[in-house]
Amino acid sequence: MDDDPDIFDVAIKILNAFIEEYTTEEHFRELEGDLITQEETENFFNDYIKELNLQEFLTLKFTPHAIAQTAINHCSGKRSKIII
């Protein structure tokens, strides 16, 4: 597969914008906080979908095999799965 120079240029712009705004990962964490745990994510998610009255329509599944960081599989007549 050929490398896409447009995607590379966009990636460089994103990295440069991060460095310009935060300078270091440590500074980013000071400003934005640390990553949350899987358990914290589940709690936030479940509270949020309960607030929206969607608990019967959505489930959350964590997997190390997902292509995207987050994906949603919509199942006709069933619960949709949000895969993280």
- Model pLDDT, residue 1: 41
Distance of alpha carbon 3 from alpha carbon 57, whole angstroms: 40
45's tokens: 């998610």
Mention every residue, 6+ apart, whose C-beta is less than 8 A from residue 31: 22
Q: Is 42's pLDDT higher than 60?
A: yes
Domain boundaries, the chain: 1-34, 36-84
The percentage of residues in the chain with a pLDDT greater than 90, rounded to a whole number, is 23
Model pTM score? 0.49
